A and B are shown apart, each in its own frame.
With several copies, the nearest count.
Chain A
Amino acid sequence: MSDRPDDLLRAVEAAVFASEQPLSIEAISLHLGGADVRAALAELAEHYADRGVHLVERGKRWHFETAPDLAHLLRREREEVRRLSRAGTEVLAIVAYHEPVSRAEIESIRGVQTAKGTLDVLMEAGWVRIVGRRDVPGRPVIYATTPDFLTHFGLESRRDLPGIDELRAAGLLDPVEDALAAAMDGPSAETELTDAEEDTDSAD
């Protein structure tokens, strides 16, 4: 493209490139046996002005840096598919069935303390968000699902979530023994079912 750059120019180019710090004109000159490097720096800066790398002066020191308009190329996002943990899935299910719901309520339904990180993960995933505060003492934050949640799980609305009786019919209430399941056909199960359905309806 162009004629071969002269040796001083090449030396300045190499010295600035290899240096771990930006170099002052004096420092470059010292490396190159006291030569006057000003003209070379100016010529190099001009040569690199259009390129992907620029030679720039900052506070009287020279260094190479990538062109500002290409900075976005230096970072790359890599998406890693990660499976939601068991605890995460449970908390998500509780939010979906009972929203809006506070963390204390989630814990009382799960019967287990809920690590703070679990809700953070669900919010990072974009499935759960904070929708306000419950008007009770302590004013706890309350959570609900997002439109992304419906999209991800292929639901038109939360109404599409199966009710308790459907879960049971599918065997998802997973009783330990048949006798136990039969025994649980009692009045308390009915009540729970009604509650859950009412919640679902009222949320929509």
Chain B
Amino acid sequence: MTDPADSPAIALPDDDWQGVATAAAGDEALYLELDGWEGPLDLLLDLARRQKVDLRRISILDLVDQYLNYIDQAEALRLELAADYLVMAAWLAYLKSALLLPREEQEDPSPEELALRLQLRLQRLAAMRDAAGRLMGRDRLGRDVFGRGNPEGLRIDRKALWQCDWFALIQAYGQIKARTQPVVHLVRDRMVMTLDSALTRVAAMLGVTLDWMELKDFLPPHADPKLRKSALASSFVAALELARLGKAEMTQDETFGPLRLRGVRA
């Protein structure tokens, strides 16, 4: 791999954490804090830093040994270890044995790749930890530098600019008028044939003939179309009434077919 430029960001001072509190409470369910370590990767990074070599040149085998020793010690002290630490220990033990096995028996992914992956992760975590330390060490507003203590403030006075247009105005007036006008309901005088006159007319016509007649033949001829509707309705009701009284018979061959009726002689 190409040699990355030497950078202060990945140089690893022993302690750049002064002034930073230890991990917040409330995370206990997720990991056990061993002397303030936040998880196995954090512990590994700390062990790596103790080797005092550049993380890019660190011996992963040494690191694995140190981690496994640490876990052994913790178990010897009967410290309860979070599952994360044990999972990492198991994985590192596997990695160690794979690194020590002859090359031909390697599976995919190769142990070298796994070791490199771990190394890269440690580098990234170290870089961010270092960056965090440098960020926190900056001159901070409200701690090292201060804004104006008592600013007058800039004020923005909001003024409403009311909008309404001519059409909305006259439309509103029209609607008030339409709404508040006294409402008068008028029913137009229409020509109707009353039930009584229909009854008289149909009964009289039934007395004249014994043949079946269609209902429409009972309507007054040349009637105004508006009167015709009324006459049809009244004549139909009159026919029903006469049938009920036994004075007429009605027949209809099909639905909506012509309705015929004739008189019944007593």
Are A and B associated in one complex?
yes
A203 at the interface (CB under 8 A from B): no
Interfacial residues of chain A within 145-204, with CB under 8 A of chain B in the complex: 151-155, 161-164, 166-176, 179-180, 182-184, 186, 188-190, 192-193
B209 at the interface (CB under 8 A from A): no
A161:B135 contact, CB within 8 angstroms: yes
A184:B4 contact, CB within 8 angstroms: no
Known: A19-B154, A121-B162. Contact between A89 and B143, CB under 8 A? no
B156:A93 contact, CB within 8 angstroms: no
B117 at the interface (CB under 8 A from A): yes
Report the minimal beta-carbon distance from B233 to chain A, rounded to whole angstroms: 22
Q: At the interface with chain B, which of A2-10, A42-50, A74-82, A131-139?
A: A74-82
B146:A65 contact, CB within 8 angstroms: yes
Chain B positions within 8 Å of A82 at CB level: 160-163
B100 at the interface (CB under 8 A from A): no
Chain A positions within 8 Å of B17 at CB level: 86
A117 at the interface (CB under 8 A from B): yes
How many residues of chain B have a CB within 8 Å of chain A?
92
B184 at the interface (CB under 8 A from A): yes
A84 at the interface (CB under 8 A from B): yes
Chain B positions within 8 Å of A189 at CB level: 1-2, 181
B26 at the interface (CB under 8 A from A): yes
B30:A115 contact, CB within 8 angstroms: yes
A-B contact pairs, 17 of them (CB 8 A): A77-B157, A81-B142, A81-B143, A83-B19, A93-B132, A93-B135, A94-B128, A111-B42, A112-B42, A127-B162, A162-B134, A167-B10, A167-B170, A167-B177, A172-B9, A172-B173, A189-B2
What residues of chain B have their CB less than 8 Å away from a CB belonging to chain A?
Answer: 1-2, 4-5, 7-10, 17, 19-24, 26-27, 30-31, 36, 38-42, 84, 113, 116-117, 120-121, 123-125, 127-136, 138-166, 168-186
What residues of chain A have their CB less than 8 Å away from a CB belonging to chain B?
Answer: 14-15, 17-21, 23, 31, 63-68, 71, 74-90, 92-94, 96-97, 109-113, 115, 117-118, 121, 124-125, 127, 151-155, 161-164, 166-176, 179-180, 182-184, 186, 188-190, 192-193
